[in-house]
Every structure is written in structure tokens, then in C-alpha cells.
């Protein structure tokens, strides 16, 4: 890895930046059949970066056909696992080698702080591909415990063609989370990135091809959800939809499946995640810094953002005081390309207006605004919102219930452990939760009682690549991302029952 993150290195790289803005189908960059394009913007300035091919159902069909041809030909699924492993490891190496370029694309298009893109998002993407690659020749299938006159094998086989439809908040990471398990298990993939963030995904696909992934195995169709996204969802020759995005759109994919070929559907959806702080915690400084990071990392545009602080009344004010001091010192908002800053722009004007709408209604309802609560840096033309904290939020308030997907934290006090658990679970979501306590019994009791796919104790985290990630209730459906558990929904179980003579 040769890239370093300095202002000079960023400026030099931007001068030489070339956007991949066509669809990537069957190993080639091609325009949309219709010739249509859509603009992609820098949300920190409001300026157009480039025009991207707007794929429609015709392009999706071409991509699915290419993927099916590649699958049937066995150019990928037919390789020895060790060969797939070698190609995927080269793919991961190329992502590492292009770390700064990919981080800049992520930052420019999504408004994300470059430091996070460079130090977290792109390394995580490479690591996910590499870790999955390593599993290729290490996982075994099974032989069933049948009677002696039978041999029955239970094997995992690839599904065929996977459609991956993705969100804009972690464009590269989400591609990695889908491609890693989909490719290592032998599938061919058609990716539709969010229309707001196609550029890093297109470059990643090109790097995959350069690494040796055969034509047709990895295709990218940029476009709108209502056209390209729907076309993938409705396509009769797609075997699985691997979707990350909102619960509302996730539901649509279940409808598409039901209306067409009963394709498998795996959904990673929204969250309204609690951070529960018990009164026995001794280190409020550490709790404060983690609570802030959980709420505001990636400007709160994070499915697992801890957007509800459920804190014992006896320590609430002390914790909030510490949080306000740290917020002022450590959480500066500004140019996403400044490596010193931790907060960038929200993804687009419509989304910023939505976030400000939640804030305005909370103010109008008389909730106590502790800090933030407004658009800032408007003179830049970018979509910046100050990190915002509301205190004493009733659990039925809109900002305590809805996923805002912005830098807004609702503080909800409690008096008893039972009340804390009830508040934590009082949501239609169940993606992630944090629990803070110095008492081991409290930790065991409460982490069991909280209904969420991941409960992080005395930290905030989505785990790492070794642990499954996904949601209870309306946060997820049909499988988990990450770890070997992710392989399950990318494969079918094949029983071969052999009667011996």
C-alpha cells in the first residue's frame, strides 16, 4: 500500500482522476442503450461531477443475460475454489493499491470525510473480499448420517445470478459485503449502485475484471431505483436479490419476487438503534466519546447509528456535559476532502431538507434542543447540518421513533432496568444496540433482553468480518451480511442420495 493521506496527495490524485461513468456489462464499459444519462453531484459544493449512464430494463436484461451466460459456461463457478481464491485476493490487492483514488471518489460523491473513506471504508472493502476469498478452499460440505446402504452428501451450490441493489451511505463497503460472499460461492452478479454514488462501484468492478474475474461475472448497471432497480427486482432470471437500503424499498423487493419468479430476497434495512447507559458506568469520558461516534459517525447516515441515547437519569446530565465538551473539541464539520475533519456533507439537498424537517418539528413540539439544530456552511453550496442533540425526548416523539439518517441524537432518560429494556425494544427495528455497564451480570441480562442483531457492550460496533451483521424485526429479512453465515443465502443446499448396491 503506497498511498498516504495528505492534502498534497489528495490534490495530485484529483488532478488525474478519471470517472468511470458508463455501465459495466460483460467485461466492457458501455453506454445505456437509450443513450440517457443522469448527473452525479458533489454534495459538499452542489456541483455536477459527471454524467452517468442511466440504465433501464434493456440494459439490466443485457447484464443479466451476460451473467447467466457466464454462470452456465462455468467460467467462474466451475473454477477450482483455490483458483477463485487467488483471483479474489488479487482483486482485494488492487482495491488496496487504489485506496486513495477510491477514497476520493467516495468522498467526492457521498460527502463523506476522506479520513473515514481512506482509513475505514476502502480497507474494509478490500478486507471483506480477501477474507471471503480465503474461505474458498477451507469450508467443507457434509455427508449425512444415513443407514449403511446409502451415501448422502449435502453440498452448497451457487444460486446463479445475484442482483445486488445498494444504498449511498457506504457505497464501496456495501459492494464488498455483497460481492465477497456472492463471488466466493460461485455466483455471477449484477450490481445496481445508488444513483447518487455509482463512481467507486464502477471503478471497483473494473479492478475486479483486471484481477481476472471473467467477463459477465461482475456487472454494474448504474441507474434509478424506479427503473434499473425495479428491472432487477422483476427480472425472471435473477435468482437472489441482495439488497441494502430502506425498509420501504426492501418491502418492494418482496413484492417483485412474489410477482415474478420467487427469487430469494435478502434484505439489510434501517434501524433506530438504542445506546443504553446504565448508572454503574465509571468512565463517563469513554462513554461520551463512543456515544458521539455512534450517533454522528458518517453524519448519522448509518443504518446502525445509535440515534437514541437511553441513559439513567442519575448520570444523564454529567454524561451530556462531557459529550458537549467533546463534541465541540473533536467533531468539526466542513470540506469532506480535509483529512482533519470528522464530519462532511449530507448526501443531497432533498435528504438535508428531510433531516431539517425532523429537527424543525421537534423544535416546534417544544423538545429541548441542547446543541446544533440547523443547516451550516450554506455559503459553500453544500448540504451540511450541525450535529444535533435533543434532551428529555419522550419515547413516542417522532425523533425517538423514526430513522432520521442524519446527525440527530434523541436523549431518553430512564429510572429502572426494566424501563431501559422496554425503551430499547420499543421500535419496529432491531439492527444494532450498545450497552454500557461495568457490571457483568447486568451486561449478560440486558444484552440478552435487547432485541437486535448486534449488541455491542462497552463500545459501539458492527463487529468485524468474522461476525454476522443484520437485523431483527423490520431491520432485516432472509439472511445476514458478513462472516461465513453470509454464504448461506448465496447458496442452495443440494442433497445427493446414493443408494449402494
Q: Does 40 bind ligand TAP (CB under 6 A)?
A: no
- Tell me the closest approach of the beta carbon of residue 311 to ligand TAP, in angstroms: 23
* Three-class DSSP category at 307: coil
Give CA separation, 176 vs 200, 211, 232, 327, 445, in Å: 11, 15, 19, 31, 34
CA dist 157 and 164 (Å) reads 19
Comparing CB distances to ligand TAP, the nearer of 190 and 284 is: 190
Q: How is residue 271 written as a grid cell?
A: 434501524
Stretch near ligand TAP under the rule CB under 6 A, chosen from 83-91, 246-254, 383-391, 439-447: 246-254
Comparing CB distances to ligand TAP, the nearer of 179 and 431 is: 431
Strand 274-277 versus strand 432-436 pairing type? parallel
- Tell me the closest approach of the beta carbon of residue 165 to ligand TAP, in angstroms: 5
Angle between helices 81-97 and 199-211 (to 10 degrees): 130
Q: Does 89 bind ligand TAP (CB under 6 A)?
A: no
Spell out the SS3 assignment of 349-416: HHHHHHHHHHHHHHHHCCCEEEECCCEECHHHCCCEECCEEEECCCCCCHHHHCCCCCCEEEEEEECC
CA dist 259 and 437 (Å) reads 48
- Per CB under 6 A, the list member of 22, 161, 194, 311 interacting with ligand TAP is 194
- Tell me the closest approach of the beta carbon of residue 180 to ligand TAP, in angstroms: 14
Q: Does 166 bind ligand TAP (CB under 6 A)?
A: yes
Q: How is residue 296 written as a grid cell?
A: 454522528
Q: Does 244 bind ligand TAP (CB under 6 A)?
A: yes
- Catalytic, out of 109, 268, 322, 403: 268
Q: Does 191 bind ligand TAP (CB under 6 A)?
A: no
# chain residues binding ligand TAP, by CB under 6 A? 30
Strand 491-499 versus strand 454-457 pairing type? unpaired
- Tell me the closest approach of the beta carbon of residue 211 to ligand TAP, in angstroms: 25
CB-based contacts of 28: which residues, under 8 Å, 6+ apart? 215
Comparing CB distances to ligand TAP, the nearer of 67 and 174 is: 174
Q: Minimal CA–CA distance to 400: which of 408, 279, 364? A: 408
Residue 106 among the catalytic residues: no
Angle between helices 417-425 and 440-449 (to 10 degrees): 30
- Tell me the closest approach of the beta carbon of residue 336 to ligand TAP, in angstroms: 18
Residues 421-450 that bind ligand TAP (CB under 6 A): 431
Q: Does 457 bind ligand TAP (CB under 6 A)?
A: no
CA dist 98 and 16 (Å) reads 13
Binding mask 203-232 for ligand TAP (x = CB under 6 A): ---------------------xxx--xx--
Burial class (CB in 10 A: 0-12, 13-18, 19+), 149: exposed
Q: Does 271 bind ligand TAP (CB under 6 A)?
A: yes
Stretch near ligand TAP under the rule CB under 6 A, chosen from 91-99, 162-170, 326-334, 406-414: 162-170
CA dist 351 and 81 (Å) reads 43
Q: Does 169 bind ligand TAP (CB under 6 A)?
A: yes
Burial track 42-71 (b if 16+ CB lie within 10 A, e otherwise): bbbbeeebbebbbbbbebbbbbbbbbbebb
- Per CB under 6 A, the list member of 129, 303, 327, 433 interacting with ligand TAP is 303
- Per CB under 6 A, the list member of 115, 208, 233, 382 interacting with ligand TAP is 233
Residues 460-489 that bind ligand TAP (CB under 6 A): 481
- Tell me the closest approach of the beta carbon of residue 378 to ligand TAP, in angstroms: 23
Comparing CB distances to ligand TAP, the nearer of 144 and 248 is: 248
Q: Which are the catalytic amino acids?
A: 268
Give the interface with ligand TAP as residue ranges (CB under 6 A).
165-170, 192, 194-196, 224-226, 229-230, 233, 244-246, 249, 252, 268-271, 303, 403, 405, 431, 481
Amino acid at each position: 500500500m503506497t498511498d498516504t493521506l495528505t492534502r498534497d496527495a489528495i490534490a495530485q490524485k484529483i488532478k488525474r482522476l478519471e470517472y468511470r461513468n458508463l455501465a459495466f456489462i460483460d467485461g466492457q464499459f458501455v453506454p445505456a442503450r437509450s443513450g440517457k444519462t443522469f448527473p452525479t453531484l458533489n454534495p459538499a459544493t452542489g456541483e455536477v461531477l459527471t454524467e452517468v449512464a442511466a440504465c433501464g430494463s434493456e440494459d439490466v436484461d443485457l447484464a443479466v443475460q451476460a451473467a447467466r451466460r457466464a454462470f452456465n459456461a462455468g467460467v467462474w463457478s466451475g473454477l477450482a475454489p483455490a483458483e477463485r481464491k487467488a483471483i479474489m485476493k488479487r482483486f482485494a490487492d488492487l482495491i488496496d493499491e487504489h485506496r486513495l483514488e477510491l477514497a476520493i471518489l467516495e468522498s467526492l460523491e457521498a460527502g463523506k470525510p476522506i479520513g473515514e473513506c481512506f482509513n475505514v471504508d476502502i480497507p474494509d472493502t478490500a478486507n471483506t473480499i480477501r477474507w471471503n476469498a480465503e474461505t474458498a478452499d477451507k469450508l467443507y460440505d457434509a455427508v449425512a448420517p444415513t443407514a449403511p446402504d446409502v451415501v448422502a452428501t449435502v453440498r452448497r451450490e451457487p444460486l446463479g445470478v445475484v442482483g445486488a441493489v445498494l444504498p449511498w451511505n457506504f457505497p464501496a463497503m456495501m459492494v464488498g459485503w455483497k460481492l465477497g460472499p456472492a463471488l466466493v460461492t460461485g455466483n455471477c452478479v449484477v450490481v445496481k449502485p445508488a444513483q447518487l454514488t455509482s463512481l467507486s462501484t464502477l471503478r471497483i468492478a473494473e479492478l475486479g475484471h483486471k484481477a481476472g474475474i471473467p467477463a459477465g461475472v461482475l456487472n454494474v448497471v448504474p441507474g434509478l431505483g424506479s427503473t434499473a432497480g425495479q428491472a432487477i427486482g422483476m427480472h425472471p432470471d435473477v435468482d437472489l436479490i441482495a439488497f441494502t437500503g430502506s425498509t420501504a424499498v426492501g418491502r418492494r423487493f418482496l413484492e417483485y419476487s412474489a410477482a415474478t419468479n420467487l427469487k430469494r430476497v435478502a434484505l439489510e434495512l434501517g434501524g433506530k438503534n438504542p445506546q443504553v447507559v446504565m448508572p454503574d458506568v465509571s468512565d463517563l469520558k469513554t462513554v461520551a466519546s463512543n456515544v458521539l461516534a455512534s450517533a454522528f459517525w458518517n453524519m448519522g447516515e448509518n443504518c446502525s447509528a445509535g440515534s437514541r441515547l437511553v441513559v439513567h437519569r442519575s448520570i444523564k446530565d454529567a454524561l451530556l456535559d462531557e459529550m458537549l465538551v467533546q463534541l465541540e473539541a473533536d467533531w468539526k464539520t466542513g470540506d469532506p476532502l480535509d483529512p482533519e475533519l470528522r464530519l462532511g456533507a449530507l448526501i443531497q439537498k432533498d435528504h438535508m431538507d428531510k433531516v431539517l424537517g425532523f429537527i424543525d418539528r421537534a423544535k416546534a413540539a417544544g423538545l429541548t434542543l441542547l446543541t446544533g439544530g440547523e443547516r451550516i456552511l450554506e455559503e459553500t453550496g453544500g448540504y451540511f447540518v450541525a450535529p444535533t442533540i435533543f434532551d428529555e425526548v419522550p419515547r413516542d416523539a417522532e425523533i425517538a421513533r423514526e430513522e432520521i439518517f442524519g446527525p440527530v441524537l434523541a436523549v431518553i432518560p430512564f429510572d429502572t432496568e426494566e424501563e431501559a429494556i422496554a425503551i430499547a425494544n420499543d421500535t419496529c427495528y432491531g439492527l444494532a444496540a450498545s450497552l454500557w455497564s461495568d457490571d457483568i451480570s447486568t451486561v449478560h441480562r440486558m444484552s440478552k433482553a435487547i432485541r437486535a442483531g448486534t449488541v455491542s457492550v462497552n463500545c459501539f460496533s458492527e463487529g468485524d468480518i468474522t461476525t454476522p451483521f443484520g437485523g431483527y424485526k423490520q431491520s432485516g429479512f432472509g439472511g445476514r451480511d458478513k462472516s461465513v453465515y453470509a454464504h448461506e443465502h448465496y447458496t442452495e443446499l443440494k442433497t445427493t442420495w446414493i443408494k449402494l448396491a
